[in-house]
Amino acid sequence: MTTRIVELRRGILKKNDELAAVLRQRYGAAGVLVLNLVSSPGTGKTAFLERTLRDLRAKGARVAALVGDLETDNDARRLAASGAPVRQINTHGICHLDADMIDKHLAGWEGVELGALDYLFIENVGNLVCPSSYDLGEGIRVALLSVTEGEDKPLKYPTLFNSADAAVITKMDIAEPCGFNRELALKNINEIRPGIRIFETSAKTGVGMDEWLEYLSAQRNR
């Protein structure tokens, strides 16, 4: 039975990769930079994204976000406070987003045209394992890690960090009470993905956000 599951899983991933390639082409044609945000639940993806959307809008950028959760539309409601168009994807028990979910939710999204966007952010389901295997056609995959998690997360979840284009450390404002070992965290990220861009941020205080926004702008204009 295990062999059959592995074969079927390969088939599903292959199908996903094919649709992701179509989406990637569509994003390119529309001139929109798409980012896929992946982390553990509780890392602060939503707070970081809310701040990013707000700061980008303040600079005149046209942004939107899709947000994945098993249940509830809490995150979509939080993100909508930024003023950007936001659409919730409820996976109802599935522990990751896939290309088909993105395709379907882009299709029926009233008032949002890819060609009219500069950036589209996709906040994945909180999970350090399964989302790594599902390409969403994104231009940039971002792995997030908070100062409250263990510094050895990159070593324990290598697939995500190894497939990421950028790493964001969140909640830097509470690094001290959490006893966060910055050097060790940076060393571990670099061990899994040498030379990856790492941003040390706080959505609360805004530290690190300028550097992050500059990076986004540079990536969009490549």
Q: What residue ranges bind a copy of itself (CB under 8 A)?
A: 1, 4-5, 8-9, 11-12, 15, 40-43, 46, 69-72, 74, 93, 95, 125-130, 146, 148-150, 152-153, 155-159, 171, 174, 177-178
* Closest distance to a copy of itself from the beta carbon of 217 (Å): 29
Q: Cβ neighbours of residue 82 under 8 Å, at least 6 residues apart?
A: 50, 53, 54, 57
Residue with Cβ nearer a copy of itself (12 or 30):
12
Q: Which is nearer to a copy of itself, 10 or 59 (CB)?
A: 10
Minimum distance, C-beta of residue 205 to a copy of itself, in the bound complex (Å): 13
With 0-12 CB in 10 A as exposed, 13-18 as middle and 19+ as buried, what is 168?
Answer: buried
Which lies closer to a copy of itself via its Cβ, residue 28 or residue 41? 41
Between 91 and 219, CB nearer to a copy of itself: 91
Distance CA 186, CA 69 (A): 29
CB of 17 to a copy of itself, least distance (A): 15
Could you tell me where the beta strands, DSSP code E, fall in the chain?
Answer: 33-38, 63-69, 86-90, 119-123, 140-146, 166-170, 197-200
Q: In what order do the strands lie in the sheet with 140-146?
A: 86-90, 63-69, 119-123, 33-38, 140-146, 166-170, 197-200
As measured in angstroms, the least distance from the Cβ of 161 to a copy of itself is 11
